Amino acid sequence: MSSRSPAIPFALFAMALDALSVGLIIPIVPQLVKSLAFSDPTFAPRALGIMQALFAAAQLFAAPVLGGLSDRFGRRKVILISFTGMTFDYVLTALAPSIGWLFLARLGAGLTAASVVTVNAYIADVTPPEKRAQRFGLVGAVIGSAFVLGPAFGGFLGGFSLRLPFWIAAALCAANLIYGVFVLPESLPPGRRRAFTWARANPFGSLRLLRTSADLSRLGAGWFLTWFGMGAFPVAFLYSTTLRFGWNTSQNGVAIAVFGLTQAVVQALLARRFVAAFGERTAARTGYVLTAVGAVVFALATEGWMIWVGCVISGMGSLTMPAIRAMVSSTATANRQGEAQGALSAIEGVSQIVAPLVAGEVFAQFSTHEFFYLPGAPFLVSAAAACIAVWLMGGLSLKRIAA
């Protein structure tokens, strides 16, 4: 496929839309749920937690299925069907008259967002091996930029209407769908396709690797705690800042964008230098300490400006992520690298199902005066998770496992 092929621009835009859609809705969905919720003040956070868990579960189970179907029927068909579904999901969300319809829309969004696996496969198909690292680095940059811009843009649009960001997202998806229908070529010729099997569509198959080494078990547990701790963000952040400081969607969107920007800077510019100077284990433990401190700031903040400080400190805690991935890579042998990274993806998916449920319930319990009043309580749970992870990282031996 020539360098002038429309494949790569389409794939990059598809990945950007996926990240942008997540970013757009973070400052909006909580308020939309609240506007559709019943009079019970504890209903909205619980409903949002369930909704986020449904989205994550749908994505976790659909991703390997869509990947397998793309191996059987080709990438183009699966990508275009996914974008069709994504467009309708955003329209349904924009029109949702009740919580039930919103649940249905977010479930569908999780299924269609799983197409990121197929888009990655498409990029690998059309890119020579020697250029794949560069291409996937570009993908990472695009996704990072979209996730930083998304919350700020979504929060701004939400100031006009809580439904407007979803109409914008639907229009962008529809435009990319039309572009793909007319100009996107198929990347996987029939001769390279393989039969679909449910055995390969099991999202938990790679988790067996974690039982082969105490180090991998600890790293897997640490990875779970990393994403579990972040689960308080999409559920409790906006409700907490609105309740305590009267923030609107624009302020929340910018704050989340600051958090995302800090993460991007740390992972792109600082993590490599820190690891080179102090080692991967120290980098991971330092990241967890920063995460815990940031979470405590969120939990106990008495002034709005403290939330901005917490966003920066918590964002710096993302130093943990590349360090964990590197330690997993160095612990697993060369012929098990894909399996190891697949295990991390499965763990991340499970944590994103569990975390919103816990965060929603904790916020519901602690945000009314019927119980001990502490709207920032979900972030104390996040801080506790990070502290446990610090202890786990201290017991690593970092020995390579047998093949």
Tokens 């019927």 identify what position?
A: 370
Cα separation of the two ends of the chain:
36
- Residue range 323-358, pLDDT digits in tens: 887 887 777 665 566 567 667 778 888 998 999 999
Q: Is the pLDDT of residue 181 over 90?
A: no
225-245 in b/e form (b: 16+ CB < 10 A) is bbbbbbbbbbbbbbbbbbebb
For 365, residues 6+ apart whose C-beta sits below 8 A from its C-beta are: 42, 371, 377
**Pick from 31-35, 193-197, 313-317: least confident:** 193-197
Query: For residues 215 and 332, is the Cβ–Cβ distance under 8 A?
Result: no
Most confident of 61-70, 221-230, 292-301, 365-374: 292-301
pLDDT score recorded for residue 137: 58
Residue that wins the pLDDT comparison between 205 and 3: 205
- Of 248, 245, 236, 247, the C-alpha closest to 366 is 236
Q: Is the pLDDT of residue 4 over 50?
A: no
- Residue range 115-153, pLDDT digits in tens: 677 777 777 777 776 676 566 656 666 777 777 788 888
Residue that wins the pLDDT comparison between 218 and 74: 218
pLDDT score recorded for residue 403: 40
- Of 258, 236, 256, 232, the C-alpha closest to 382 is 232
Q: What is the number of other CB atoms lying within 10 angstroms of the CB of residue 39?
A: 5
pLDDT score recorded for residue 153: 84
Which contacts of 77-80 are long-range, i.e. CB under 8 A and separated by 24 or more positions? 78/115, 78/118, 79/14, 79/115, 79/118, 79/119, 79/122, 79/180, 79/184, 80/177, 80/180, 80/181, 80/184
- Residue range 250-290, pLDDT digits in tens: 888 889 889 888 888 887 788 888 888 888 889 999 999 99
Q: Measure Cα distances from 281 to 271, 343, 364, 388, 392 in Å.
A: 12, 19, 36, 14, 10
How does residue 301 score in pLDDT terms, banded at 50, 70 and 90? Answer: very high
Q: Give the integer Cα–Cα distance in Å for 393 and 195.
A: 41
Q: Which stretches within 184-248 are classed as H helix?
A: 214-230, 232-245
- pTM > 0.75: yes or no: yes
**What percentage of the chain has pLDDT greater than the value 70?**
86
pLDDT score recorded for residue 186: 82
**Pick from 53-62, 203-212, 253-262, 375-384: least confident:** 203-212
- In terms of Cβ atoms closer than 10 Å to its own Cβ (0-12, 13-18, 19+), residue 72 is middle
pLDDT score recorded for residue 86: 86
Q: Over range 158-175, report the average pLDDT.
A: 86
- Residue range 78-91, pLDDT digits in tens: 888 888 888 888 89
**What percentage of the chain has pLDDT greater than the value 90?**
18
Q: Over range 303-311, report the average pLDDT.
A: 94
Domains of the chain and any CATH numbers: 1-183 (1.20.1250.20), 202-403 (1.20.1250.20)
Q: Is the pLDDT of residue 113 over 60?
A: yes
Q: What is the number of other CB atoms lying within 10 angstroms of the CB of residue 44?
A: 25
pLDDT score recorded for residue 371: 66
pLDDT score recorded for residue 157: 86
Which SS3 state, helix, strand or coil, does residue 235 take? helix
